[in-house]
Amino acid sequence: MLNILEKIKDVLVKQSKTQVLDKQLSDLPQPEQMYNLMSMAKEVYKRLLKGERCLIAGDYDADGVMATTILKSFFNDIGFGPLVDFLIPDRFKDGYGLSPNIVEYAKDGGYNFIITVDNGIAAVKAVELANSYGITVFLTDHHTVPVDPDSGEEILPPAKFVVCPKQKNETFPFIEISGATVAWYLTAAIVKSQNLTYDMSRYLDFVGITVITDVMPLTDINLAILKYSLKKVGKKERMIYRLILKDYSVDEVSYGFSLGPMLNAAGRIDNANFLVDLFISRDQAEIVKLHQKMFELNEKRKLISHEQTQLAMTMVSEDDKIIVVKGNFHEGVVGIIAGRLAEVFKKPAIVLSWNEEGQVLKGSARTFGNVHLYNTLFKIKPLFVGFGGHAGAAGMALELKNFDKIKTALNDIAKTIPAKDWESFEADPFLLPVGDITPDIVHLLESYGPFGHGNPKPRLEIHSEIQILRSMKNELHWATLAKEDGESIEAVFFNVGEKFPSLLDCDGKLKFTAEPKIVKNDYTGVESIQVYGRLIH
């Protein structure tokens, strides 16, 4: 019988065969391979040379913030900083992406043209409004392009140029890329079209962050960019990384569970404009001040999302194939709640924010397995006020009167989805004795990383006695010892709340998912194994 290391390695080897692993930065496709990109780059540069003013219209998630930061930093670097401003929409006042509010802002501010990043592909009315004001729109996005259900033709906004790898005419060889990747390619196209001398790796660390935060498949150029980013961020040369990641090793986990959530938190419950200033700034005092603001917003977001996720759990009907719930949820955390519901109940989930005074519900959806969210929701498009997204995530708005219709329709559609699409990307978990969590397992996992979408980390589970050592952050986190057959290992549980001790069974045992790490004592230099525990519902 294969021992546990060989079993885990077998899973990792099979996964790696589905990936393109050998791409280097030197293998990245050239900018001219992306449809419309070189034409857009030349026109943007020409207009800036003429002294026209530009507004970068971003998005309030990590991908949109990083895309905006890349573009604004680049224009600063090449001397156009005074002509180029940016605006991250306010989720609560402006809504998503290039809205009429943003166009009005551009008109009132005297901007000649707008460049969208990580948004705009569905903004037909906003682009038409901009055109009516004589404001030119250069649209860059990476989301799914809306299609007319009758003709099958793409519905593209009437922008000057549309750069989006999901277009039918696309010639780029790898289209599953983030919005920040598209924005970075625009800078590369400007450099190439104008024969500028410029270090194109300067902001690739920002691009790599979005590969994880926007759940891009870890293969091909995404993998090459992520590996470079991890290496660069690991040096912590930027002050912001030393502040955010001071207590973390730099890997895809810290991107996904520390850096990413902190970037997303601002746009979820406040306004994310200051994040661009944070990443652009070279003033240490300003960086410290803005980082503190980001930290405080993230702490607030944690509390809200934890409490409201627990509430949403009570609303789920086991009979639903696709979860659809509504409630007085904070609009900024519905995506987090939907993701947690999808993970726990192993089915796609839609969470809608609504209060008794409102007739319009706004929400987010997260998928499970290989269920294509965008295609599924598109089948009931007339029931929405609006929606957009991609295979794994979507956002939507709908009238209250259509809630029950949507819930019924989605559960009918779910019956037609092939059984294989409901399967989790993850392999079956490995149930391990505490004593089998060794450095060899950690090193094996590290050798097949980074992990993420398309390359899930094998799930290790422990069922052991739990000795609680102490609580942290007002009983939000807990430090424990997992003990079994005379062996023990330190296990830390984050964001599990004050009820954690009551989750242990009558024998003081708990079954949980273990994320092992090798940690080094700062004082003694001694290395040991620590696991981050996640509850299994």
Q: Which of 229, 261, 294 is the last residue of a domain?
A: 229
**Final residue before a domain boundary, out of 422, 451, 466:** 422
Tell me how far apart the alpha carbons of residues 387 and 362 are, in angstroms, rounded to a whole number: 10
Say whether both 431 and 503 belong to one domain.
yes
pLDDT at 456: 87
The pLDDT value recorded for residue 1 is 39
Question: What is the count of structural domains for the chain?
Answer: 3
**Same domain (yes/no): 47, 101:** yes
Whether 180 and 210 have beta carbons less than 8 Å apart is answered as yes
Task: Return the CATH number at 330.
Answer: 3.10.310.30
Look at residue 1 and tell me if it is in a domain. no
Contact (Cβ atoms closer than 8 angstroms) between residue 466 and residue 510: yes
Determine the pLDDT at residue 428.
77
Residue 5 placed within a domain = no
For residue 476, give the CATH number of its domain. Answer: 2.40.50.140
Is 301 part of any domain?
A: no
Q: Which residue range forms the structural domain that includes residue 365?
A: 315-422
Give dist(CA 348, CA 65) in Å, integer: 27
User: What is the CB neighbour count within 10 angstroms for residue 264?
Assistant: 26
Q: Specify whether 334 is located in the same domain as 196.
A: no
Last residue of a domain, one of 397, 422, 447: 422
Q: Is 292 left (phi over 0), alpha (psi -120 to 50) or beta?
A: alpha
- Judge if 399 and 417 occupy the same domain: yes
Q: Is 263 exposed, middle or buried (0-12, 13-18, 19+ CB in 10 A)?
A: buried
Give the pLDDT of residue 516.
92
**Do residues 87 and 206 both lie within one domain?**
yes
* Order of strands, sheet of 386-389, starting from the edge strand that comes earlier in the sequence: 323-327, 349-353, 360-366, 393-399, 386-389
Q: How many CA atoms lie within 13 A of 429 on its CB side?
A: 14
pLDDT per residue as tens digits for the range 255-313: 998 899 999 999 999 999 999 999 999 999 999 999 999 999 999 998 899 899 999 99
Q: Is position 267 within any domain?
A: no
Amino acid at 76: N
Q: Are residues 403 and 438 in the same domain?
A: no
Question: Whole-angstrom Cα distance, residue 96 to residue 362?
Answer: 11
CATH number for the domain including 129?
A: 3.90.1640.30
Residue 322 carries which DSSP code? S
pLDDT value for 118: 97
Q: What pLDDT is recorded for position 425? A: 61
Check whether residue 63 and residue 161 sit in a common domain. Answer: yes
**Residue 219 and residue 46: Cα distance in Å, rounded?**
36
CB 488 within 8 A of CB 482: yes
Gap between the Cα atoms of 198 and 77, Å rounded: 9
Which parts of the chain sit beneath pLDDT 70? Answer: 1-2, 356, 425-427, 522, 537
Same domain, 378 and 436: no
Give the residue from 456, 453, 534, 476 showing the smallest Cα distance to 176: 453
Instruction: Supply the pLDDT for residue 44.
Output: 98
